[in-house]
Chain A
Amino acid sequence: MKISDLFKETYFALLSNKARSGLTILGIVIGIGSVIAMIAVGQGSTASIKASIESLGSNLLMISPSFQRGVGQQVSAGRGSAKTLTQEDADAIMEQGELIKAMAPELSGRYQAGAKGTNTNTSVVGVTAAYPEVRNIQIESGSFISEQNTRSLSKVAVLGPLTRDDLFGEDATDVVGKTVRINKIDFKIIGITQAKGGSGMNSQDDMIFIPLTTAQRFLAGSDYLSTIYVEVVDQDSMTAAQEQINSLLLSRHNISNPELADFSIMNQADIVDSVSSISDTLTMLLGAIAGISLIVGGIGIMNMMLTTVTERTREIGLRKAIGAKKKDISLQFLTESVMLTFIGGIVGIILGWALSYAVSYFGNTATEVTSWSVLLAFGVSAAIGIVFGYYPARRAAGLNPIEALRYE
């Protein structure tokens, strides 16, 4: 039997029962369509989460103080509470090598900040001029803290847009030049940063930046740092740079056992990885739920094929009588079921695409139809055709021609 004849027979068979074929295909269309759309929604949100993490600065290492724990002492203070990182550490890191592109030490704390009649409790971050580059911050108006400011311990401040709104109201226009009072000390506002989005405690929009030296002297009263941000030259050097800094700080702090390090280094790639692994799991979950409808569609195929085999018992008997082999019969019915899922798969992919487009258009949620999800859906639909068509096809092929011809 020729392939072209096989397809012709399939075409005739499916067309001779349009309503039934159509409804069975619809089951697969819904299954494939929802798998595509669900994965697109999941992938889209993964991508947007990744993008927003990366907007905080790329190739970033974060060095923060770790537990403060003396020899033989059981009580640990919280992570980050230790005062172990110093400006000298930061400078040593910067001098370390060519892997490091930029470095920004930071000393942050939460203080009460006030303007005329309003006040808020926000993060006040002591920074250096390198900070905007490392942390990917842009200035909306005015200027950022300069090296001159750091050197001369200037009492100047740069406000995040949320802090500005909290202190001066949302329709405040020109706040540069005004004064903000932090911990009973007056700071002159020299700039406003651009909004970056994000919310919660660590939103970079809700911050006040002041020169690092000013923060150490007037607010914290100590020379320690709360975080050192290091920008590494490229993605591939992240691990190498991390190890380099690790051993440098261990030797600087005279710690021989790395387990007892009084600092910790976080790699931004690790954060991105862990967040995307969470959202990938979520995507899989969404896809799996949609996959259930695909299985239901597959059962629909099997149901239809079993009915068809029963209905066409005499036809099968005749085909066998005129010389069709088992293989010819099973191939014919298998082709019919695969054809159903194939058509359903194509229409389903188009539907899923349209659905995810609609979701991103009306729902303002980013979606992303990836080629692997299309391939996956296609493979799955073809596999469903084979799996759910196999049993009916085998049943048809196994019919005894004599009994099949007598079947009423």
Chain B
Amino acid sequence: MIECDNIVKTYKTVAGETTVLKGVSFTIKDGEFLAVMGPSGSGKSTLMHILGCLDTPTSGVYLLDGRDVSKMSDDKLADVRKDKIGFVFQAFNLLPRATVLRNVALPLVYEGISREEREKRARIELKNAGLDESHFYHLSNQLSGGQMQRVAIARALVNKPSLILADEPTGNLDTKTGEIVLDTFQKLNEKHKRTIVLITHERYVAEHADRIIHIRDGIIVEDERNLKKRLVSAG
């Protein structure tokens, strides 16, 4: 459960203060598949950073599972990220010279979980993300873009987060592999009841979610239920 109340984010620059988010309020229920849509410069990336606990708002309250995380220290935020948040990036951000399994298990290293347990959980998430077992011991830079993004999704899931944040996850992929990735998200949402927030500037991508928040110039202009959800595969 995510509750944002009047989130404001101001950056100090040489030219003066720039307010990127001007009072954003919304609630995301557990198990929701939400897309945040807006053009570049609208503040959606900043919103994602705050939702992902990489940054704190200048003012406003952000409750993540009932805990106020808006005024936490860096190390406390790191703990929150470790336990509650999974990131999927546009550029995948995998460790290039490490195997697929090691990449997926990496977040668990910081939880102090044993190697056997890490690999066990990594295997489960890789299967859920739809990666074939034959790739588990490949180095991550030997994979195709679509495979890489599925490895990244498995990594985001491995710590059993309350929230998965995907920042333009299809941005570096062609339409077909992009579809496969979006399908993976839809399945994870439907079968495993994962809460997913998809950040994108493309209407087409956003239409794969159940709800779309439109953001422009730092404020929410529209919060719509997506009635014509695009389904990649039946089920």
Is B75 within 8 A of A1, CB to CB? no
B33 contacts A by Cβ under 8 Å: no
A323 to B87, CA, bound (A): 11
Given A16-B97, A314-B93, A405-B89, A322:B82 Cβ within 8 A? yes
Select A323's contact among B55, B82, B115, beta carbons within 8 Å.
Answer: B82
A401 at the A/B interface (Cβ < 8 Å)?
A: yes
Is B28 interfacial (CB 8 A cutoff)? no
> What's the Cα separation between A12 and B101 when bound, in Å?
14
- The residues of A that contact B49 with a CB separation of less than 8 Å are 402
CA distance A405 to B87 in the complex (A): 11
Q: Does A318 have its Cβ within 8 Å of any Cβ on chain B?
A: yes
Q: A2 touches which one: B74, B89, B112 (CB < 8 A)?
A: B112
Query: In the complex, what residues of B have CB within 8 A of residue A1's CB?
Result: 109-110, 112
CB interface residues, A 318-354, toward B, < 8 Å = 318-328
Any chain A CB within 8 A of the CB of B159?
A: yes
A270 interface hit (Cβ, 8 Å): no
Contact A320 to B93, CB < 8 A, known contacts A1-B109, A1-B110, A2-B112: no
Structural contact, B109 and A5, CB atoms closer than 8 A: yes
Name A322's contact: one of B74, B115, B155 (CB within 8 Å). B155
**Interface residue tally for chain B (C-beta within 8 Å):** 27
User: Which residues on B sit within 8 Å (CB–CB) of A2?
Assistant: 109, 112
Chain A hits for B155, CB < 8 A: 322
Asked if A323 and B112 make an inter-chain contact with CB atoms under 8 angstroms apart, the answer reads: no
* Residues of chain A lying within 8 A (CB to CB) of residue B82: 322-323
- B78-100 Cβ-contact flags toward A at 8 Å (1 or 0): 11011100010101010101100
CB of B222 closer than 8 Å to a CB of A: no
Residues of B within 8 A of A318 (CB): 89, 93, 95
Q: In this assembly, does A317 line the interface, its C-beta being within 8 Å of a C-beta of chain B? A: yes
Contacts of A320 in B (CB 8 A): 54, 78, 81
Determine the distance from Cα of A295 to Cα of B191 in the docked complex, in whole angstroms: 59
A186 CB within 8 Å of chain B: no
Within 8 A of B (CB), among A369-408: 401-402, 405
> Is A280 part of the contact surface with B, judged by Cβ < 8 Å?
no
Is there an interface contact between A326 and B75, defined as CB atoms closer than 8 Å?
A: yes
Residues of A141-184 contacting chain B, CB below 8 A: none
Instruction: Give the CA-CA distance A16 to B97 in the complex, in Å.
Output: 7
Interface centre among A317, A318, A322 (most CB of B within 10 A): A322
3 residue pairs, one from A and one from B, having the closest CB atoms: A323-B82, A322-B107, A318-B93
